[in-house]
Amino acid sequence: MSSVWREGMIGSGKQKGPLEPPSPVLMFQCHGGGFIAQSSKSHAAYLRRWTKDIGVPMIAVDYSLAPTYPYPRALEEVVHAYAWCIENKTLLGWTGEKVIFVGDSAGGNLLVAATLKCIQIGLPLPSGLFLAYTPFLLQFVPSPSRLLCLTDPLLPFGFMMKCLQSYAATNKKENLVLNNIQSKSLLYSLWTTASDMISFIFAKQRGGKEGIVNHKGTWLSDHSPSEEFQEFDVPADPYISPYLANADDLSRFPKTVLVSSESDPCLDDTVMFGKRLKEQNVPIDLVIFDDLPHGFLNFGASPEANEAIRVCGDKIRDLCNSK
């Protein structure tokens, strides 16, 4: 997408009047959605705003979604799309000089993994990364911010478990996979999983029976929630969990803007990944907003989120203009 027609851009030959010269910068964007949902269209409102305000073209990648296409399909498609952009820069109205990776949530994870892939296979590295509320460690590691998902209505524990399992899990049990689940039953499953987990915690605090109580007060199972983690494994793979990448690879990263919020379950991931980059002398810019949920870029109707979208656009503009 672009706010102006540029020389060489697909469709520019049909335009009357002068064309803008190719842009020295391209934004390469991947959307969030837990690896299982959403698309570039669901993020179009703020992406179009950034394209216009920053004044550079953007390509938004619609990668294949889990569980139909689990890891590494989405990552492979993102890397292939990036390689295509490099080879066909004129068609995008781009000189090929600089590219800024822009991603949120699962999209941010894919772009960090794609950067690692570029290092491995020798593709040109991006000139900067903008990563909003991104999960960098897809492992069962508790942290203060991750515990927020137990009561977060927008990113509940059940949803995070289903996303993780659908995208990256091995040793899956068929009855736990998302295949052929209708939307209504999926939403009910996500809601009850989160509420059941909270009930378990409260029961343990009261010294009650070890089990899970649902919202009607009946026992759902005779095992603890920790046993749910034993139903599948997630590989310790840096292309799944970029936090696990080796120091030499991280030292080659460009300037990175990391964005989260105080109520984001991915806040601790963001801070710790930023720490790893800083240890390798990679310039970082850590931005933490107040009182905004995970996924706030899609909530532009809110004055607070609208202002955060503006701030994020300014940060991306700084990356585009940096030497």
- Please, what is the angle between helix 44-54 and helix 303-321, to 10°? 50
| Residues with Cβ within 8 Å of residue 126, at least 6 apart in sequence | 28, 99, 100, 101, 115, 118, 254
pLDDT at position 85 is: 98
| Residues with Cβ within 8 Å of residue 201, at least 6 apart in sequence | 150
pTM: 0.84
Query: What residue has token string 């990776």?
Result: 101
pLDDT band at 180 (very low <50, low <70, confident <90, very high): very low
Alpha-carbon distance values, 253 to 123, 211, 246, 248 (Å): 13, 46, 12, 10
- Check pLDDT > 80 for residue 222: no
DSSP 63: -
Query: What residue has token string 């999960």?
Result: 135
56-71: b (≥16 Cβ within 10 Å) or e: bbbbbbebebbbebbb
Summarised one tens digit per residue, pLDDT across range 80-121 is 999 999 999 999 999 999 999 999 999 999 999 999 999 999
Summarised one tens digit per residue, pLDDT across range 235-262 is 999 999 999 999 999 999 999 999 999 9
Cα(274)–Cα(271) distance, rounded to whole angstroms?
A: 5
Give which of 59, 96, 91 is closest to 78, Cα–Cα.
59
| Residues with Cβ within 8 Å of residue 183, at least 6 apart in sequence | none
Contact predicate 143/180, CB 8 Å: no
Single-letter amino acid, residue 26: L
**Mean of per-residue pLDDT scores for the chain:** 85
Contact predicate 316/99, CB 8 Å: no
Summarised one tens digit per residue, pLDDT across range 191-221 is 444 445 445 444 444 554 444 334 343 333 3
Q: Looking at the DSSP assignment, which residues form a beta bridge with residue 99?
A: 26
CB 310: neighbour CB atoms within 10 A?
15
Contact predicate 155/265, CB 8 Å: yes
Give which of 230, 231, 198 is closest to 214, Cα–Cα.
198
Cα(186)–Cα(134) distance, rounded to whole angstroms?
A: 23
- Helical ranges in 178-246 per DSSP H: 183-205
Cα(83)–Cα(1) distance, rounded to whole angstroms?
A: 18
Summarised one tens digit per residue, pLDDT across range 44-79 is 999 999 999 999 999 999 999 999 999 999 999 999
Cα(239)–Cα(83) distance, rounded to whole angstroms?
A: 18
Tell how many helices (H) and how many strands (E) occur in the chain. 8, 8
Contact predicate 80/66, CB 8 Å: no
Contact predicate 285/257, CB 8 Å: yes
Cα(169)–Cα(123) distance, rounded to whole angstroms?
A: 28
